[in-house]
Structures are given as structure tokens and as C-alpha cells.
Amino acid sequence: MSEQVKAVKGMNDILPPESARWEWFEHTVRALMRRYGYLGIRTPIVEPTPLFVRGLGEVTDIVEKEMYSFVDKLNGDPLTLRPEGTAGVVRAVVEHSMLYEGPKRLYYMGPMYRHERPQKGRYRQFHQVGVEALGFPGPDVDAEVILMVRSLFRDLGLADVRLELNSLGQPEERKAHRAALIAHFEASIEVLDDEAKRRLHSNPLRILDTKNPAMQALVEAAPKLMDFLGETSLAHLRGVQAALDAVGQPYSINTRLVRGMDYYNLTVFEWVTDRLGAQGTVCGGGRYDGLVEQLGGKPAPGIGWGLGVERVLALLEESGVTPPAVAPDVYAVVPDVAAVAVATATVEALRQAGVSVLMHAATKDGQGSFKSQFKKADASGARFALVFGADELAAGEVTVKSLRDAQASQQRQPLASVAAWGSSLLASSTNA
């Protein structure tokens, strides 16, 4: 045997039965998007590197150290596996002049790539669902996108995810806050540790994250961005709060909440759980009114979020939520190879009628005995076994046996009416 090839570190295979959980999740997401009127958009996984450098900002974790970037061997183009979805969607919206027709509500679902240290809830290939609402300036749509996430959690049967909210104001308000922050720290420079001194002028906001106990009092007393917001920014935040209050959605204002990407302004939010340890943020988003213009479009506001699929699925598991079981309606038992052609035609007719059928297939050991096939039928979780035996074949019939109801007697069914029987089966199961 030759040496095995293994998957790339931090990139996972999703196997059955785990894949059923994913499919159920994806199905739930699509139904949600339909209810809110969001349309799907699919953009390439590979984009020109400058898209992310310009779109996310050079001093972000993603651009500084997390991107899978490479050079196209044929033409030397710098390319990057997408680390997030917003930049690609906005590029596509600008490239296809989509906003000329009016505002757009869009969603996507798919893999993202970041070169991080793999651990539970943090992978190098992971998946996001995201929405982007483009061309809407008001707080009403901020509340809409936030509440979509609440609906999704409800549809999935998830509790224990709380909402944190903040406003980053506008760039000029952030600039004034930054200056005040630097002045505040400079006035007590003797309290700062070396790391804080280094960050003082490059990224004073990061000093607020310090774990150094000697600096806590100073950090606590630091000027808050919230106090630098003008009336327009505050009114926007109040608008979001009013909409959340109207539907009884609790939230906490977290003035420390900032987002990794430079492009955010005004509303920022996260959906957070305590049940996933350090990787507790399941969804993050916010407003990015400057991004469309920054990527070469006519200025247009935007807001969106990205939700980590692996984290939501882990939370579902942690919360004991299991998706509805997937089992075939029917297992076709075919003990005799002579019956295979008739069985094939019959199960094809059943599938055409919408019934899901698993038909026994020969393995390297051959067709298998009636008994072993019946065991497989039982294990498949199917509701009925259809038996295509020699007797049945001679009579132009098939035996129908309930696998779930021990009381029910088995009955013969003419082959010609099996599809009709299948349809009635579906009708009765949707009524139930």
C-alpha cells in the first residue's frame, strides 16, 4: 500500500451522519432567508489579494497574519482564499452595478480560510453564513438583520445566546476619541507597561484589552467612545434599541465591543454564548457605510453579519438539539437476482412519485440471503420493506411489510399500483 494522503491541518472532512446535521442547518437557513426576502449570492472562493487589503484594512488580524495568499503561477497575480464574505459580495455588487436597480438584501453560505492556530471552534477552513443589506441607511434594517439571527436560533431550537450591541460612531468621532485616549494615557505614562507604551500611538484602543492588574484603574477611567458620539450617531443607536425593545429582544450595550475589520461604523453587534468556552462568539456584524465607496462603487450604506457554522453546530450539540432523523421511506428487499430488473423499475416509479427508497444492492459477497437483507432493511430505519421474491414476481406483485408497526400484517400489492401506494404513503405522512 502507498502512503496515505491526509487532509490539511485545521481543515475538516464532514462525514455522515454529521453531514445530515449540516444539511438540516443549511435547509433551515435557506427557509429563514426566504422569510426575510434575502436572495442568494455566490462569489468565488479565490479573490485578488488587494480586495481584502483594501476592504478589511492593513492593520487587522486577518490581513496581517491570517490570509492564505499565493501567486498565480501563470500570470503572477496575487490571490487569496477568501477569509470572510463581505469584501467579495461588495466587490460583486459594485462590479455588476447591482445597486443601480435599488437596494439589495443578499445572503451567502460557504467556506472561509484563515491561517489560525486550530482548536475547538477555530479552524483554518471554516464555514460562514452571512447577510449583507446594501443601500439602506436607517436603523430599521440594522434591527432587521440582528433579528434574523434571533429567528435562526429559534428555528434551530437554540437558547442561551445573548446579544451585545455597541456603536462605533463615525470616523471623525473615533478620531476625537483616539486623541483623548492617547492624552489620557500620556498623562499617566508611568503606569503604562512596555507593551502599552508601544501601542500608545499605533493602536491605543488595544491598550483597553490589557490584562495587567496595575493598569486596570487607568483603563477603567479611560474616555469612552460612547461619550464622543454626536447626536446623529446616538439617534441611530436609539433607533436600533427601540426596534429591539419593540420585539422584546434583550441586549447589553458593550462599550468595549469593536470589530476586527476597519470598515465598520455605527452599529456593531455580536451574538455570544457562554457554552463554547473561549470561542463563544457565534455571530458578529455591523454597519459598513464606507466600504462600497472604498471598493470603487458609488457611495452606498451597508450592514451585515457573519455567523460561524461550526460554532452554531457545536452549540446545537452542546445543547442536545438533534436534527430530525433521516431514513428512507422504503427498503427494497431483493433476495433473487432474477427480480432485480422488476425491482429496479418499481423503485424508480416510487422515487418518481417522491418516495425515498433504498434498494438492496449486491456486495462482493453477492446478493445476500433474505434474512440478511431484512436485517439491513430494519437497520436502515425505513418504515416499510418491499419484498421482491420469486413468488411475488410470478404473481406480478410485491409484498409490503411495515417495519415500524409489529401489529400490521403484511400485504401483497400489484406491481402496477405500487406507485399509487407510495403516493398515499406520502400524503398520510404529511398529514401526521
SS3 percent helix, strand, coil of the chain, rounded to 5, is: 45, 20, 35
Please tell me whether residue 123 binds ligand ATP under the rule CB under 6 A.
yes
State the nearest-atom distance from the C-beta of 169 to ligand ATP, in Å.
19
Could you tell me how far CA 29 lies from the centroid of its own chain?
8
* Alpha-carbon distance values, 16 to 13, 112, 308, 322, 326 (Å): 10, 21, 20, 14, 11
Nearer to ligand ATP, 91 or 127 (CB): 127
Whose Cβ is closer to ligand ATP: residue 310's or residue 397's? 310
* Segment near ligand ATP (CB under 6 A); pick from 121-129, 213-221, 362-370, 387-395: 121-129
Distance CA 138, CA 374 (A): 62
Calculate helix-pair angle for 231-246, 139-156, nearest 10 degrees: 30
Q: At closest approach, how far in Å is the CB of 405 from ligand ATP? A: 44
Give the residue, chosen from 306, 335, 368, 422, that forms a contact with ligand ATP under the rule CB under 6 A. 306
Sign of CA pseudo-dihedral 120, 122, 128, 133:
positive
Nearer to ligand ATP, 80 or 346 (CB): 80
Span of 118-126, 197-205, 224-232, 315-323 interacting with ligand ATP by CB under 6 A: 118-126
Q: Is 310 in the site for ligand ATP (CB under 6 A)?
A: yes
The nearer residue to ligand ATP, 94 or 129, going by C-beta atoms, is 129
Residue 271 CB partners (closer than 8 Å, separation 6+): 149, 153, 161, 162, 163, 164, 281, 282, 283, 284, 307
Exactly one of 169, 204, 302, 308 binds ligand ATP (CB under 6 A); which one?
308
Is there a cis peptide before residue 223, judged by omega within 30 degrees of 0?
Answer: no
For the chain, the farthest-separated pair of C-alpha atoms sits apart, in whole angstroms, at 98
CB of 54 to ligand ATP, least distance (A): 17
Taking CB under 6 A as the criterion, the residue among 28, 30, 79, 116 binding ligand ATP is 116
Q: In this structure, are strands 46-48 and 78-81 parallel, antiparallel, or unpaired?
A: antiparallel
Give the CA angle between residues 210, 211, 214 to the nearest 5°: 95
Q: Are 113 and 82 in contact (CB under 8 A)?
A: yes
Minimum Å distance from CB 304 to ligand ATP? 10
Smallest gap from residue 234 Cβ to ligand ATP (A): 25
Rule CB under 6 A: choose which of 30, 122, 351, 376 binds ligand ATP.
122
The residue assigned the cell 431514513 is 327
Give the x/- contact pattern for ligand ATP in 264-303, rule: CB under 6 A: ---------------x-xxxx-------------------
Side-chain-facing half-sphere of 99: CA atoms under 13 Å: 22
Strands 46-48, 39-40: pairing kind: unpaired
Does 260 bind ligand ATP (CB under 6 A)? Our answer is: yes
Closer to ligand ATP at the Cβ: 239 or 260? 260
Binding flag, residue 88, ligand ATP (CB under 6 A): no
Query: Considering the complex, what minimum distance in angstroms separates the CB of residue 424 from ligand ATP?
Result: 45
Residue at shortest CB range from ligand ATP: 308
Q: How far is the CB of 283 from ligand ATP (least distance, A)?
A: 6
List the one residue from 114, 177, 199, 287 that touches ligand ATP (CB under 6 A): 114
**Alpha-carbon gap, residue 248 to 142, rounded angstroms:** 16
The string over 168-194, giving b where at least 16 C-beta atoms fall within 10 Å of a residue's C-beta and e elsewhere, is bbbeebbebbbebbeebbeeeeeebee
Residue with cell 461550526: 310
Nearest approach in angstroms of CB 60 to ligand ATP is 9
Window 137-196: residues binding ligand ATP (CB under 6 A):
none
d(C-alpha 212, C-alpha 200), whole Å: 15
Per CB under 6 A, the segment of 102-110, 123-131, 135-143, 338-346 that binds ligand ATP is: 123-131
Residues that bind ligand ATP (CB under 6 A): 84, 114, 116, 121-123, 126, 128, 260, 279, 281-284, 306, 308, 310-311
